[in-house]
Structure 1
């Protein structure tokens, strides 16, 4: 991958290389424009679907979400992966009898798209198992295997071998010793490294935040909590478990923000909760400028934890209010 400084690493699996291969047939400008249009179109369609029934002023704020603009500016695939995740959740949510047979199949296909950036899809099988969504689980596995098989047929098995061998080196350079990148990495691990903690202690701090987030998300899917809360917890936990991601990956934040706003139908959002959502809305911009100006702090991990705490409060507070009745 070419950058202003020369050549940049390509830490993506052959599935993503297969997905972008057709764009190589076009001149760079046309390829970039087409890729951007497809990503924006998919992302916009999902956010529009999630924003149904939300007040117009809130819809405008969602449309102006800085995470989308940042992903477009960076030319990254974050809008596509966020659209795939959001599309899967929209399909899983539907309870229409007419669509009940096809929705799990299409949801599985959306989850399989995350194979282009598989670290962002690792929690979806857990959620499907906990939620007993067996058809979607089988469909996602089948589509993912087929996706990988086609990449092997098109690019050769050697592409996968090279990818697997390169991952530890990329992790060592970009994650463990990439102090030039930590400022722009909105993760718990990077925040710990910026605070001067050692690699092992930073991983421990990261695990101390990520594991409870995963457990809570699994709990909500097991308990069949309100779908908005399940979806919000899953997407928040997906971001929190990442030791390495960049500011443009926070395009995903639009998903939990939208789901939590929709949950206002069950119980009105308090001022503190609106403030939490507003802070989360700003996080992509904060993460970007922290990287540009090498600021010694990343606020996104704290904002993600606050969103998860808000989700927990709404789940247990709602359950308590119902019990009180």
Structure 2
């Protein structure tokens, strides 16, 4: 069994071709059933269709009404949601910086279902563009790339919640594709990721070690421009409200797990899921973050392929934050695409195919397994993939000749010449 996992030969061409088709058919049937069983804007579970998006739409309405600080006040925001969708609607909090009020305000000008459709279709297309762009020269037919991308289980999770995982994946994947060819545009894409500040540790490291100065300029310029635009549109009060709401986000959402530790795919949540207290969870999360950053820095300084470095950076982005949900595992899609593109060109490393397969199915299994056992399967899959990637840096380091040996070899060549 270990030999099969190491080689990945169990992942036959027939399985690679048929399993995504089966997944996509099942997910499509589930989505159609959910829509058919809905009544108006409400889904079969008596929550709004695209449940999490409902609070984004309500936040946009609040901003359009001149109350841009309201989404950051949990009591006011919940009251507004219940006034719109009924007293039985779930509790969905707004935890984004004021940047994200801009798309929310635009979408809130549409009726709810139209806004949800526009949001999901537009960001889904951006996600597909990023994956197709990564694999454009890999020799894989575009149709197969699209089917596999749509069949990735995180897609149906993101659709069910009306979440922003497609956008996150598109920004990360697009930035990695463009970092060498269009550095300023890549910087803009990375800068837009500031709407999720918990993902902000690894991209600066990737850019600094890689000396991507123009991309850094584009990213910093984008964040500055977004900040100025948000102040102009929503006022400084929105930022004061955002910072005032951070203690609630930290204590209730992250530490106490109001979202559900089975949904959060982080080392912190894994420790809490297994019964650990808050200080213990912070210790292990800090250890994981420091270890991931150190390993990533080693890889980024090595002679590894740019696609390998990009994939490792994306994986480390998810490992370093205490707050990453199962729909955020959409970010694994561009990471996996980068590894597949490299593997098809240069051959796959030991355990790489198995790690990719595990990461591919992990979003489907992570929440139910964590609920039933409990076992943090999503974190295990993510860690396994990251370890397989960064182990390449150690292999390269071992193969690098020592400086003294290289000098002796060069001297002998000159003497023989």
TM superposition score normalised by structure 1 = 0.90
Aligned residues: 316
The gaps in structure 1 that reach 5 residues or longer are 95-102
| Structure 2 counterpart of 1:194, from 259, 273, 284 | 273
Aligned partners of 2:125 and 2:140: how far apart in 1? 22
Distance 1:12 1:290, change over 3 A: farther
Preserved CA contact (<8 Å) 2:153 2:361: yes
What whole-Å deviation, never above 9, does each CA across 1:255-282 have from its counterpart, x for those lacking one? 2211111221454225732111101001
Q: What is aligned with 2:179?
A: 92
Aligned partners of 1:202 and 1:79: how far apart in 2? 29
Shift of 1:314: 2.8
Shift of 1:13: 0.8
Q: What is aligned with 2:342?
A: 263
Aligned partners of 2:105 and 2:396: how far apart in 1? 48
SS at match of 1:5: coil
Asked if residue 55 in structure 1 is aligned to residue 140 in structure 2, the reply is yes
Aligned partners of 2:139 and 2:325: how far apart in 1? 29
Q: What is aligned with 2:169?
A: 82
| Structure 2 counterpart of 1:317, from 395, 399, 402 | 395
Aligned partners of 1:162 and 1:286: how far apart in 2? 37
Moved more, 263-272 or 76-85: 263-272
Distance 1:180 1:91, change over 3 A: closer
Aligned partners of 1:117 and 1:170: how far apart in 2? 13
Matches within 5 A, 1:22-37: 22-37=106-121
Q: What is aligned with 1:273?
A: 352
| Structure 2 counterpart of 1:15, from 96, 99, 102 | 99
SS at match of 1:181: coil
Shift of 1:6: 4.3
Distance 1:198 1:288, change over 3 A: closer
Asked if residue 307 in structure 1 is aligned to residue 385 in structure 2, the reply is yes
Shift of 1:315: 3.2
Preserved CA contact (<8 Å) 2:296 2:390: no
Asked if residue 68 in structure 1 is aligned to residue 68 in structure 2, the reply is no
SS at match of 1:127: helix
Aligned partners of 1:77 and 1:180: how far apart in 2? 16
Moved more, 4-13 or 39-48: 4-13
Preserved CA contact (<8 Å) 2:207 2:216: yes
What whole-Å deviation, never above 9, does each CA across 1:121-171 have from its counterpart, x for those lacking one? 332122111111111111110111110110111011111111111111111
Moved more, 4-13 or 199-208: 4-13
Preserved CA contact (<8 Å) 1:187 1:244: yes
SS at match of 2:179: helix
The gaps in structure 2 that reach 5 residues or longer are 1-54, 56-80, 403-417
Higher RCO (CA 8 Å, separation ≥ 6 residues): 1
Shift of 1:320: 4.4
Q: What is aligned with 1:216?
A: 295
| Structure 2 counterpart of 1:45, from 122, 129, 134 | 129
What whole-Å deviation, never above 9, does each CA across 1:53-98 have from its counterpart, x for those lacking one? 153497343341111221122100111011011111100143xxxx
**Aligned-residue CA RMSD in angstroms?**
2.3
SS at match of 2:284: helix
Distance 1:203 1:22, change over 3 A: same
Shift of 1:12: 0.9
TM superposition score normalised by structure 2 = 0.71
Distance 1:202 1:235, change over 3 A: same
Distance 1:7 1:309, change over 3 A: closer
Moved over 4 A (4+): 318-324
Shift of 1:290: 4.2
| Structure 1 counterpart of 2:307, from 225, 228, 238 | 228
| Structure 1 counterpart of 2:199, from 120, 123, 141 | 120
Aligned partners of 2:351 and 2:304: how far apart in 1? 22
Aligned partners of 2:281 and 2:186: how far apart in 1? 35
SS at match of 2:366: helix
Aligned partners of 1:298 and 1:83: how far apart in 2? 26
Preserved CA contact (<8 Å) 2:302 2:397: no
